[in-house]
Chains A and B, each alone.
Chain A
Amino acid sequence: MGKIILRNVNKSFGATQVIPGIDLTIEDGEFVVFVGPSGCGKSTLLRLIAGLEDTTSGTIEIDGRDVTKAAPAKRGLAMVFQSYALYPHMTVKNNIAFPLKMAKVSPDVIEKKVTEAARVLNLTNYLERRPGQLSGGQRQRVAIGRAIVREPSAFLFDEPLSNLDAALRGTMRLEISELHQQLKTTMIYVTHDQVEAMTMADKIVVLNAGNIEQVGSPLDLYNKPDNLFVAGFIGSPRMNFVKGKAAEPYRAPTVGIRPEHLRLSTESGTWRGVVGVAEHLGSDTFLHVNVEDVGMVTVRAGGDFAVTHGDTVYLTPDENRIHRFDDKGLAIR
């Protein structure tokens, strides 16, 4: 079980308030991702849940038990750190066995569980090595192994993949998702990589300066962002924002349109612009188009859409996929 409830959780470091007051419910078995820009308080929030930081005020509840004042060890959670935080003087085997040893599990049970975890994580051949003799991906798997053996009520991940190269990140992402499907245990995952957030999450929590901007499924956030911040943060490349005269026809101070929701033509359309940079990714081409009265607009074209720098193109926003925002930046629905 792993239902976690935060009630008005507040955290200050000295005079600086990092988390002004957060209410959040995480259901048992959910994969929740915290995203937000650097310094917005993602790690702090995770560490508050873990018990590595004390709350300034508010309460944290796990499975109906108030754990606000409980020590990290008493919360039944496991954490995977960005730096892996393996014990450098212990073998892989002892690293994975450590939480079990602390819980005074009998040696033969430890042996069985470590062997099983090593098998699942492809670490069987490395059990006698020290962390210093492993690659980054292997170290990360040891850290995950150390977390899964104790069968915690929830896993906490703090940017676990950010030290890995792009290819390995992709593989590990799948492995963690698969692990979640097998274990069906609550997972809270901090990242600032929105591909990770979109692909892994059941529920995304978007944070900004310690506040929750929006909570919802990846597609909810993509299709119905509550405000400008979420609209700009979720989706890649970023949503285009149009203000002033060009937004008037849509009866809103600010209008947002994603690069993939603009129809591109070389003959006619709502907006006329000149192609600046064209980024060819093979599958897609992203054009940065300079539109008069609107500014720079990013648009997605097919992989073989043949235009180059300086060409004139026409863009037409898809009327059904337009996002409208009021003066305060809140979505008009």
Chain B
Amino acid sequence: MARAVSTRRMAVATIAAWIVALIIFFPILYTIITSLKSEPEAIQGFNLIPSFTLESYVTVQTQRDYFKPFMNSVVLSVGSTLLALLVAVPAAWSMAFSPTNRTKDILMWMLSTKMMPAVAVLVPIYLIFRDTGLLDTRLGLTIMLTLINLPIVVWMLYTYFREIPGEILEAARMDGATLWGEIVYVLAPMAVPGIASTMLLNIILAWNEAFWTIRLTTTNAAPLTAFIASFSSPQGLFWAKLSAASTLAIAPILIMGWFSQKQLVRGLTFGAVK
């Protein structure tokens, strides 16, 4: 009896989970479906069965080179993530292991910068970029992405580092570890999972960032987000091509997410399963 109920519950829960997942995934799925339609098909209206033509992909690739924005996306997301970690690891480290009574305030202040709408600083940032010659450069955008994601990176790392019990570090000190030994043998191994999942999440965030990447680039440094956007306006609305471009843009990050999901989930639940 009990088993029957729990089996039925399991079935209901499974179906519910699938429905939720499908609802969340549906826009992406429909993008992929539309990308496999011909242009007339795409404007006809809602239709889940495409004609499986690849003509949009061919047009997209011949009209605009996919490779260049792809490389820009890689450079920007990986570059800005590494740069952010370079700053955030020591910052989060000192805040977690030798906090002062201002630490909480600083963390809150950093987070509060994320509450401000980006548009509010668009003009000053644009002017600064223009005057320093950083507009449409990889360097400029990397710096920009680093800065906007830095608060989140610091927060995430801070939370992970706080999970490392101080007594373990004290034990290492009692066991005769030098500062270097303490870092290499004890701290680093315990910090690496947190750093890795922060890194993955930040790469995804940076890859998907569309506000600044579209506004501060034209051609040279334009990443895939700008690549998608470029299909929407100048030529009117070509749904199939736009979808093909979107699919090409999100594919790499989806694949990366898929392969690293174990690491991502473990990182996100690090504290819970310790």
Contacts and interface: CB of A to CB of B under 8 A. Distances in A.
Interface of A: 50-52, 71-73, 77-79, 81, 83, 85-89, 98-99, 101-103, 146, 150
Task: Tell me what chain B mostly uses at the interface: helix, strand, loop, or mixed.
Answer: helix
A149 B90 CA distance: 34
A89 B170 contact: no
Nearest to A71: B173
A52 B178 CA distance: 14
A267 B165 CA distance: 61
Contacts of B173: 51-52, 71-73
Contacts, number: 60
A321 B202 CA distance: 73
Contacts of B177: 73, 98, 102
Interface in B101-160: none
A51 to B, nearest CB: 8
Given A87-B186, A88-B190, A98-B185, A73 B178 contact: yes
Task: For chain B, give the interface size range.
Answer: 10 to 19
Interface in B174-217: 174-178, 181, 185-186, 189-190
Contacts of A79: 170-171, 174
A77 B174 contact: yes
B168 interface: yes
Contact of A81 (B171, B186, B189, B274): B171
A89 B189 CA distance: 7
Interface of B: 165, 167-168, 170-178, 181, 185-186, 189-190, 274
Contacts of A87: 168, 171-172, 185-186
Nearest to B174: A79
B167 A99 contact: no
A167 B149 CA distance: 53
B165 A102 contact: no
Nearest to B186: A87
Which of B174, B181, B186, B274: most chain A CB closer than 10 A? Answer: B174
A79 B176 CA distance: 11
A161 to B, nearest CB: 16
Contact of B176 (A50, A52, A81, A150): A150
Contacts of B181: 102
Nearest to B185: A98
A103 B176 contact: yes
Given A98-B185, A102-B181, A85 B168 contact: yes
A89 B175 CA distance: 16
Q: Give the 5 A-B residue pairs with the shortest CB-CB distance, closest first.
A: A85-B171, A99-B175, A85-B167, A102-B176, A73-B176
Contact of B170 (A52, A98, A150): A52
Nearest to B173: A72
B165 A85 contact: yes
A89 B190 contact: yes
A89 B184 CA distance: 13
Contact of B167 (A77, A83, A89, A150): A83
5 contacts: A83-B165, A85-B171, A86-B168, A87-B171, A87-B186
A289 to B, nearest CB: 45
B168 A72 contact: no
